[in-house]
């Protein structure tokens, strides 16, 4: 006879059990940290100014590789891909808005809505391509599994 402890559980902790939500939160936090560090290094570390192109390239590669995690993880599940990526990009947009309060010239570069829409549009295009690819893959596997049946 086993005894299980029924501890009180908060509703928001149940939300984090979903892989898409959890991935979106982690990727969004990572994107926000990388973008914040990029801004801090670009604005406060003056001796790296001569390496500005390399610094920006490294930051863009880091952001791009981290932003591709939902794509790689949920390639065959476009619904989870959309949920995860929109959560991640929403977190980044919120941090971008907070950084616009600190760095006044940042809002002149792009607005928060523009940053949010850039990411969402790219992720929606990728999710659509993944969805079409999944449909084609399922149709081909269904056709292959029935290839031995002859028409009477």
Tell me if residue 52 falls in helix, strand or coil: helix
- Provide the CA 146 distance to its chain's centre, in angstroms: 38
Q: For 131, how many CA atoms within 13 A lie in the half-sphere containing its CB?
A: 11
Tokens of 20: 């898409």
- Answer yes or no: is 96 within a domain: yes
Q: Is the pLDDT of residue 73 over 60?
A: yes
Structural domain harbouring 32:
11-145
Query: Looking at the domain assignment, is residue 152 inside a domain?
Result: no
Asked if residue 30 belongs to a domain, the reply is yes
Tell me the per-residue pLDDT of 78-93, one tens digit each, with 9 for 90 and over.
Answer: 999 999 999 999 999 9
In a domain, 16, yes or no: yes
Per-residue pLDDT reduced to its tens digit, 24-36: 999 999 999 999 9
Tell whether 151 is covered by a domain: no
When divided into structural domains, the chain yields a total of 1
pLDDT tens, position by position, 125-148? 999 999 999 898 888 877 665 556
Residue 150 domain-assigned? no
In a domain, 44, yes or no: yes
């Amino acid at each position: 006879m086993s005894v299980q402890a029924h501890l009180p559980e908060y509703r928001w902790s149940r939300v984090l059990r979903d892989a898409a939500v959890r991935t979106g939160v982690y990727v969004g936090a990572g994107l926000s940290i990388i973008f914040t560090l990029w801004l801090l290094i670009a604005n406060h570390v003056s001796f790296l100014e001569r390496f500005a192109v390399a610094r920006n390239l490294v930051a863009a590669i880091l952001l791009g590789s981290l932003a591709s995690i939902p794509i790689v993880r949920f390639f065959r599940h476009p619904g989870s891909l959309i949920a995860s990526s929109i959560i991640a990009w929403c977190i980044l947009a919120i941090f971008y808005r907070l950084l616009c309060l600190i760095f006044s010239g940042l809002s002149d570069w792009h607005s928060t809505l523009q940053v949010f829409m850039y990411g969402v549009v790219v992720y929606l295009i990728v999710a659509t391509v993944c969805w079409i690819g999944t449909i084609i893959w399922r149709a081909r596997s269904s056709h292959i599994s029935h290839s031995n049946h002859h028409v009477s």
